[in-house]
């Protein structure tokens, strides 16, 4: 990384940290986010974006985790923008992309966030078996990542299906349904959340900084079908890896915030006439937390580089997600213990970080799912 780029990241990090800290736990609305330029970091200049890379988005994602900040920014910036940019240009797609960068729209890709990151997605569909259709054979390949299906009738096209665990769907004013056409090819269907036949059912979730919903479509009329510019399977794999790394960045921010809070507390909390930070057991626990954070940071940096130069094969993203999200749960748990009784109270705020870390561990594939994918590489 060049010195100029490193300096830019430091400035971006400082501004993000100060702005999120000033919010005192309140979500930044999309107009505020648009003024910062964060929504359009990766968008092309023709859509009023900054033409930056995922490395810059990752800086903001990290700070959102560090502040345990609410709001749909991570989903919009890390997933919705790149989904739109991988689709074929057209007046409506271009308008939505430009409105998203300007903070006038909040599109959310619709897929099951528990299953999406855990799936092996082939580079291309398998050829149909003898005596069967291409549509029949290719559908199972993407069924878990394209939970909706297009149904072609004589005078109309409908979409049906259900995604059970959709992050930030309650906040969206435009839903981007990942669907399969009649040939099993992945496509995107833009729909309004209030469209007849579409239901968005908010689900309870332990993490109060996030919103999750079940999105169901039953014979919803399709006005447009947006297709990917290049190989749709490669696009889905890239989207899967971005989702995994995005939540890993969030978990790294959580972990760092909890280590800092624990070290500060250990300096001032006294027991037996001494700061508890002087006791070897506390020192070792904090050192273990730092080791985990250092490993997570290295894995995430490697995954970000892979996504930025498009050399990623999924392994780096899987390693970063599985390790960073597991470590975050452990680190926040240790922070709660080292804070003593106050750590278990609502007022301490540590519970907010623990709940967010627990949800992060489940989002876009559990650690065991990613390790299983990695193990198949060496089988």
pLDDT tens per residue across span 6-47? 888 999 999 999 999 887 667 788 888 888 999 999 999 999
Asked whether the predicted pLDDT for residue 75 surpasses 60, the reply is yes
Mean pLDDT value of segment 278-283: 91
Best CA proximity match to 285, nearest among 304, 261, 259: 259
Q: Determine the CATH number of domain 3-107.
A: 1.10.540.10
Give the model's pLDDT for residue 276: 84
Domain 232-377 in CATH 1.20.140.10? The answer is yes
Best CA proximity match to 87, nearest among 234, 239, 229, 236: 229
Residue 144 in contact with residue 122, Cβ under 8 Å? no
Residue 138 in contact with residue 232, Cβ under 8 Å? no
Give the CATH number of domain 116-221; options: 2.60.40.10, 3.90.1200.10, 2.40.110.10, 3.40.50.620: 2.40.110.10
As a whole number of angstroms, the distance between CA 218 and CA 159 comes to 7
Give the model's pLDDT for residue 69: 93
Asked whether the predicted pLDDT for residue 299 surpasses 50, the reply is yes
Asked whether the predicted pLDDT for residue 192 surpasses 50, the reply is yes
Domain residue spans in the chain?
3-107, 116-221, 232-377
Read off the tokens for 173.
């004013």
- Non-local (6+) Cβ contacts of 305 within 8 A are 55, 311, 316
């Amino acid at each position: 990384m060049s010195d100029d780029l490193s300096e830019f990241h430091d400035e971006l990090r400082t501004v993000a940290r100060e702005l999120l800290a000033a919010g005192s736990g309140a979500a930044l609305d999309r107009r505020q986010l648009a003024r910062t330029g964060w929504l359009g970091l990766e968008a092309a200049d023709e859509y009023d974006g900054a033409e930056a890379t995922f490395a810059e988005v990752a800086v903001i994602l990290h700070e959102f985790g560090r502040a345990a900040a609410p709001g749909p920014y991570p989903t919009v910036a890390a997933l919705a923008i790149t989904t739109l940019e991988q689709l074929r240009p057209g007046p409506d797609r271009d308008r939505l992309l430009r409105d998203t960068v300007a903070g006038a729209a909040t599109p959310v890709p619709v897929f099951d966030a528990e299953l999406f990151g855990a799936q092996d997605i082939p580079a291309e569909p398998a050829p149909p078996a003898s005596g069967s259709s291409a549509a029949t054979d290719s559908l199972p390949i993407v069924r878990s990542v394209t939970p909706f299906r297009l149904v072609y009738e004589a005078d109309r096209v409908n979409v049906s299906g259900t995604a059970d665990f959709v992050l930030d769907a309650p906040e969206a004013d435009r839903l981007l349904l990942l669907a399969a056409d009649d040939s099993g090819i992945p496509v995107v269907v833009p729909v309004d959340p209030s469209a007849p036949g579409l239901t968005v059912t908010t689900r309870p979730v332990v993490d109060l900084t996030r919103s999750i919903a079940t999105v169901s479509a039953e014979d919803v009329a399709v006005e447009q079908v947006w297709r990917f510019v290049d190989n749709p399977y490669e696009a889905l794999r890239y989207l899967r890896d971005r989702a995994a790394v995005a939540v890993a960045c969030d978990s790294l921010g959580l972990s760092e915030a909890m280590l800092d809070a624990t070290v500060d507390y250990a300096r001032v909390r006294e027991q037996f006439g001494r700061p508890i930070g002087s006791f070897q057991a506390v020192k070792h626990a904090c050192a273990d937390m730092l080791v985990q954070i250092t490993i997570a940071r290295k894995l995430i940096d490697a995954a970000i580089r892979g996504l930025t130069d498009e050399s990623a094969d999924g392994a780096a993203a899987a390693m970063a997600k599985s390790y960073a999200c597991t470590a975050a749960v452990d680190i926040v748990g240790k922070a709660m213990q080292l804070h003593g009784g106050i750590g278990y109270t609502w007022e301490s705020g540590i519970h907010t970080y623990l709940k967010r870390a627990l949800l992060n561990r489940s989002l876009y594939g559990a650690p065991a799912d990613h390790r299983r994918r990695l193990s198949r590489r060496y089988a």
